[in-house]
Chains A and B, each alone.
Chain A
Amino acid sequence: MIGFLSKRLAQSLLVMLIMSALVFVAVFAIGNPVDVLIDPRATQAEINAAMKALGLDQPFWMQYKTFLANLVKGDVGNSWVYNESALKIMMQRLPATLELAISALVIAIVVGIPLGAYAGLKPDTPSARFIMGSSILSFSVPAFWVGLMLIVIFGVKLHWLPIAGRGETISVFGIPFSFLTLDGLSHLILPAFTLSLSRIGMVIRLVRSGVREVLGQDYIKFARAKGLKESRIVRVHVLKNALIPVITVMGADFAGLLTFAVVTETVFAWPGMGKLIIDSIAMLDRPMIVAYLMVTVLIFILVNFIVDVLYAVIDPRISLTGAKS
Chain B
Amino acid sequence: MSALLRVENLHTHVVLKDQTIKAVNGVSFSVAPGEIVGVAGESGSGKTLTGMSIIGLTQSPIKIISGNIQLDGDDLRSASPETLRKLRGQKIAMVFQDPMMTLNPVLRIDVQMMEMINAHEKVSKSEARTRCVTALAKVGIPEPERRLHQYPHELSGGMRQRVAIATAMLLSPKLIIADEPTTALDVTVQAQILKEMQALCKENGTALIWITHDLAVLAQIADRIVIMYDGKIVETGTAKQILLKPKHTYTQSLLASLPKAAPDADKGKHIVTDSAPTLIKLTNVHKTFGKQSGLLGKFAQRLRLTTAPLITDAVIDANIDIKRGEIFALVGESGSGKSTLGRLACGLLQPTGGRVEYNGVESFRPKTQNAKQARLAVQMVFQDPQSSLNPRMRVLDIIGQAPLAHGLVSRANLEDYVSKQLERVGLDISIKDRFPHEFSGGQRQRISIARALAVNPKVLILDEAIASLDVSIQAKILNLLAKLRNELELTYIFISHDLGVVEHISDRVAVMQKGRIVETGPTREIFANPKHIYTQTLLNDVPRIDALNHI
In this complex, the member of B89, B105, B111, B151 whose beta carbon has the largest number of chain A beta carbons within 10 angstroms is B105
State whether the Cβ of B495 lies closer than 8 Å to any Cβ in chain A: no
Q: Are A226 and B93 in contact (CB under 8 A)?
A: yes
Distance between Cα atoms of A321 and B304 in the complex (Å): 13
Distance between Cα atoms of A224 and B84 in the complex (Å): 10
Q: Are B310 and A219 in contact (CB under 8 A)?
A: no
Q: Which of A82-90, A181-189, A196-204, A309-317 contacts B (4 or more CB under 8 A)?
A: A309-317
**A325 cross-chain contacts in B, Cβ below 8 A:** 154
Q: Mark B324-345, 1 if CB is under 8 A from A, else 0.
A: 0000000000000000000000
**A323 cross-chain contacts in B, Cβ below 8 A:** 307, 309-310
State whether the Cβ of B115 lies closer than 8 Å to any Cβ in chain A: yes
Q: Mark A138-155, 1 if CB is under 8 A from B, else 0.
A: 000000000000000000
Tell me the smallest distance from the CB of A244 to a CB of chain B, in Å.
Answer: 7
**A41 cross-chain contacts in B, Cβ below 8 A:** none
What's the count of A-B pairs with C-beta under 8 Å?
Answer: 100
Closest residue of chain A to B308 (Cβ to Cβ) is: A323
**A229 cross-chain contacts in B, Cβ below 8 A:** 85, 119
State whether the Cβ of B116 lies closer than 8 Å to any Cβ in chain A: yes
State whether the Cβ of B447 lies closer than 8 Å to any Cβ in chain A: no
Closest residue of chain A to B111 (Cβ to Cβ) is: A236
Q: Which one of A219, A236, A241 lies within 8 Å of B115 (CB-CB)?
A: A236
Tell me the smallest distance from the CB of B114 to a CB of chain A, in Å.
Answer: 11
Q: Which one of B88, B164, B310 lies within 8 Å of A227 (CB-CB)?
A: B88
Q: Mark A53-87, 1 if CB is under 8 A from B, else 0.
A: 00000000000000000000000000000000000
DSSP majority for the A interface?
Answer: helix
**A240 cross-chain contacts in B, Cβ below 8 A:** 104, 106-107
State whether the Cβ of A42 lies closer than 8 Å to any Cβ in chain B: no
**B310 cross-chain contacts in A, Cβ below 8 A:** 323-324
Given the known interface contacts A226-B115, A228-B115, A232-B119, the answer about A219 and B85 at a Cβ–Cβ threshold of 8 Å is no
State whether the Cβ of B408 lies closer than 8 Å to any Cβ in chain A: no
**A227 cross-chain contacts in B, Cβ below 8 A:** 85-90, 116, 119-120
Q: Are B102 and A219 in contact (CB under 8 A)?
A: yes
**A93 cross-chain contacts in B, Cβ below 8 A:** none
State whether the Cβ of B57 lies closer than 8 Å to any Cβ in chain A: yes
Distance between Cα atoms of A290 and B480 in the complex (Å): 70
In this complex, the member of B101, B167, B168 whose beta carbon has the largest number of chain A beta carbons within 10 angstroms is B101
Q: Are B116 and A226 in contact (CB under 8 A)?
A: yes
Q: Which one of A230, A316, A321, A324 lies within 8 Å of B105 (CB-CB)?
A: A316
State whether the Cβ of B435 lies closer than 8 Å to any Cβ in chain A: no
Tell me the smallest distance from the CB of B399 to a CB of chain A, in Å.
Answer: 33
Q: Are A241 and B102 in contact (CB under 8 A)?
A: no
Distance between Cα atoms of A27 and B153 in the complex (Å): 50
Q: Are A218 and B89 in contact (CB under 8 A)?
A: no
Contact residues of A between 195 and 242, Cβ < 8 Å to B: 217-219, 221-230, 232, 236-237, 240-241
Distance between Cα atoms of A6 and B94 in the complex (Å): 48
Closest residue of chain A to B150 (Cβ to Cβ) is: A316
**B304 cross-chain contacts in A, Cβ below 8 A:** 2
Q: Mark A241-265, 1 if CB is under 8 A from B, else 0.
A: 1001000000000000000000000
**A3 cross-chain contacts in B, Cβ below 8 A:** 300, 305-307
Tell me the smallest distance from the CB of A55 to a CB of chain B, in Å.
Answer: 37
Tell me the smallest distance from the CB of B312 to a CB of chain A, in Å.
Answer: 9
State whether the Cβ of B215 lies closer than 8 Å to any Cβ in chain A: no
The residues of B with any CB-CB pair to A shorter than 8 Å are 55, 57, 85-90, 93-94, 96-98, 101-108, 111, 115-116, 119-120, 151, 153-154, 164, 167-168, 300, 304-307, 309-310
The residues of A with any CB-CB pair to B shorter than 8 Å are 2-3, 6-7, 217-219, 221-230, 232, 236-237, 240-241, 244, 314-317, 321-325
Known: A223-B104, A325-B154. 14 other contacts (CB 8 A): A6-B300, A218-B96, A219-B101, A221-B94, A222-B103, A222-B167, A226-B89, A227-B120, A229-B85, A230-B85, A232-B115, A236-B111, A321-B306, A323-B310
Question: Which 5 A/B pairs are nearest by Cβ-Cβ distance?
Answer: A3-B306, A227-B89, A227-B88, A218-B101, A225-B94
